[in-house]
A and B are shown apart, each in its own frame.
Chain A
Amino acid sequence: MSLPTLNAQLQASGISRRTFLKFCATTASLLALPQSAVADLANALGNAKRPSVVWLPFQECTGCTEAILRSHAPTLESLIFDHISLDYQHTIMAAAGEQAEEARRAAMEAHKGQYLLLVDGSVPMGNPGYSTISGMSNVDMLRESAKEAAGIIAIGTCASFGGIPKANPNPTGAVAVSDIITDKPIVNISGCPPLPIAITAVLVHYLTFKRFPDLDALQRPLAFFGETIHDRCYRRPFFEQRKFAKSFDDEGAKKGWCLFELGCKGPETFNACATVKWNQGTSFPIESGHPCLGCSEPDFWDKGSFYQALFPWERYKSKPGKGGQKHAGKNA
């Protein structure tokens, strides 16, 4: 089955080349690519075949899907996402049951070795009956779908690390995608939910360079997970000055001081929320007065109270693994 190029798709949708160039410039910046590469990126991406994508939602809350698809207006991140060939996603597709499964198998057969597999949600290993789709266990569906996939993008903390389903006592025996599939390139875009632009940027990188971007030791794209929330937090100066909110309604909180002593996990959480932000760039949790929960890190649910300080302020400088050293980079 031949798929049209992205250029043809964009033209058919009335998206101008100028708009596409703007998208490429912004994405290159997000991926830390040189701006001199924008023209090449636009040419390679524009001539890339519209990718076939099979998206498997397993043990998940649909929050990841909502984050990506609930844009009220066309956005830069939706520009690419609207133009992939999403051949299977049983939460949003019209078909259901066997009809939907036929669509999945047909797409996998037609694009053998070329389709991308997106997964959100963890995989229950305790009992196959905990989560099934059309009578098929999640683990069987994952193995079947991964077999001929070009690569896998694990969307959200559940697919990346097990997430909330894996939290103690892990009643379903939840595991991450990478615990099951070990012979395919996998990118983890963690977060509860993950940043939509990170997913788009990884897709752009894959379509342009035919490989996933550079990853950290937890297989997350370094362009988005290379720095902590704390590194880029606008409240960081208050941390240095030891000006902390002690409760959610004290003077410090009202003055916008650092939320470290209210349990902020920003110093140990690698993600780009502080720069990319949420809801069309409106804000991120700390900007709304709530500490970072550390949702893009493994086992974030089981690391003690969300509202206890990580460690005494004085210990910060001597604590190992700060500022990107914790998850040294590697290439997928």
Chain B
Amino acid sequence: MNEELIFITSNADTTGNVIPLLHQIRHALSQLLAQQEETTIDLRRLPLSASEESQLETFLGHGEVKADIQALGDTVVIESRYTGVWLETHYNEEAEIMGKYVHICDCPPLIKSQPEDMVLSLNNIVSDIQAMSDTSTNDAAEED
């Protein structure tokens, strides 16, 4: 990075990065179809002005799926109107944006149930069923 570069980018209302970014998304989608190769683009690492970010979001639009995840602050995952292109936004507990990503994949990793959580889940459901059975048995015994 040099001083001249900083002056050029900071003076510009637009960085000119939206169209190249959209081409990157298009290319990633074709790679996903051809080779099942998933791509994630970290928007925080790209120079985009606020208006360009908004322009990108408007272009992508909303598709059929929207998921809200509560994990140390909200995470919102939206499938864009282009199937296979997802926009994922991470918020902290104060609703500040911590990260924003474009996933090109069939399902973003955070939406999937995680194997580690499922192991705990199995233990929990076993103990909950046991507790329910115990309660039913006790209730029946009391009725008798």
Report which A residues bind B (CB closer than 8 A): 7, 11, 16-19, 21-23, 25-26, 28-29, 32, 34-36, 38-39, 73-76, 79, 226-227, 231, 236-237, 240, 277, 280-282, 317, 322-325
Q: Which of B6, B75, B93, B120 contacts A323 (CB 8 A)?
A: B6
User: Which residues in A have their C-beta under 8 angstroms from that of B27?
Assistant: none
Stretch at the interface among B17-25, B39-47, B52-60, B130-138: B39-47
Q: Which of B10, B11, B42, B92 contacts A75 (CB 8 A)?
A: B92
Complex contact A74–B93 (CB within 8 A): yes
With contact pairs A22-B110, A237-B10 given, residues A11 and B3 touching in the complex (Cβ less than 8 Å): no
Q: Give me the 8 closest cross-chain CB pairs, A-B, nearest first.
A: A281-B96, A17-B114, A35-B40, A19-B71, A280-B94, A17-B116, A322-B3, A323-B6
User: Which residues in B have their C-beta under 8 angstroms from that of A282?
Assistant: 94
Separation in Å of the A45 CB from the closest CB of chain B? 13
Q: Is B122 an interface residue (CB 8 A)?
A: no
Q: Is B101 an interface residue (CB 8 A)?
A: yes
Complex contact B93–A26 (CB within 8 A): no
User: Which residues in B have their C-beta under 8 angstroms from that of A7?
Assistant: 116
User: Which residues in A have their C-beta under 8 angstroms from that of B73?
Assistant: 76
Closest to A32 in B: B45
Q: Which of A34, A236, A323 contacts B1 (CB 8 A)?
A: A323
Complex contact A16–B117 (CB within 8 A): yes
Closest to B69 in A: A18
Complex contact A25–B116 (CB within 8 A): no
Q: Which of A21, A226, A281 contacts B92 (CB 8 A)?
A: A281
Complex contact A323–B11 (CB within 8 A): no
CA distance A322 to B7 in the complex (A): 11
Complex contact A36–B40 (CB within 8 A): yes
Beyond contacts A34-B42, A35-B40, A323-B1: 4 other A-B pairs, Cβ-Cβ < 8 A, are: A16-B71, A25-B90, A35-B41, A236-B10
User: Which residues in B have their C-beta under 8 angstroms from that of A237?
Assistant: 10-11
Binary flags per residue of B114-129, CB closer than 8 Å to A gives 1, else 0: 1111001000000000
Q: Is B65 an interface residue (CB 8 A)?
A: no
Complex contact B109–A74 (CB within 8 A): no
Q: Which of B6, B72, B94 contacts A19 (CB 8 A)?
A: B72
User: Which residues in A have their C-beta under 8 angstroms from that of B117?
Assistant: 16-18
Complex contact B93–A280 (CB within 8 A): yes
Complex interface residues of chain B between 80 and 103 (CB less than 8 A to chain A): 90, 92-94, 96, 98-99, 101
Q: Which of A73, A227, A322, A325 contacts B93 (CB 8 A)?
A: A73
Complex contact B110–A21 (CB within 8 A): yes
User: Which residues in B have their C-beta under 8 angstroms from that of A21?
Assistant: 109-110, 114
CA distance A297 to B117 in the complex (A): 44
User: Which residues in B have their C-beta under 8 angstroms from that of A317?
Assistant: 3, 7
Complex contact B10–A18 (CB within 8 A): no
With contact pairs A16-B114, A75-B72 given, residues A35 and B94 touching in the complex (Cβ less than 8 Å): no
18 interchain pairs (CB within 8 A)? A11-B120, A16-B117, A19-B71, A21-B114, A22-B75, A25-B99, A25-B101, A26-B90, A26-B99, A35-B40, A39-B109, A73-B93, A75-B72, A237-B10, A240-B10, A280-B92, A281-B96, A325-B3
Complex contact A323–B2 (CB within 8 A): yes
CA distance A210 to B20 in the complex (A): 36
Complex contact A79–B72 (CB within 8 A): yes
Q: Which of B3, B7, B98, B109 contacts A240 (CB 8 A)?
A: B7
Closest to B70 in A: A19
With contact pairs A281-B94, A281-B96, A325-B2 given, residues A29 and B42 touching in the complex (Cβ less than 8 Å): yes
User: Which residues in A have their C-beta under 8 angstroms from that of B45?
Assistant: 29, 32
User: Which residues in A have their C-beta under 8 angstroms from that of B5?
Assistant: 323
With contact pairs A231-B6, A280-B94, A322-B6 given, residues A22 and B71 touching in the complex (Cβ less than 8 Å): yes
With contact pairs A317-B3, A323-B6 given, residues A76 and B72 touching in the complex (Cβ less than 8 Å): yes
CA distance A107 to B73 in the complex (A): 35
Complex contact A11–B116 (CB within 8 A): yes
Closest to A237 in B: B10
With contact pairs A74-B93, A323-B3 given, residues A18 and B11 touching in the complex (Cβ less than 8 Å): no
CA distance A32 to B45 in the complex (A): 7
CA distance A16 to B72 in the complex (A): 10
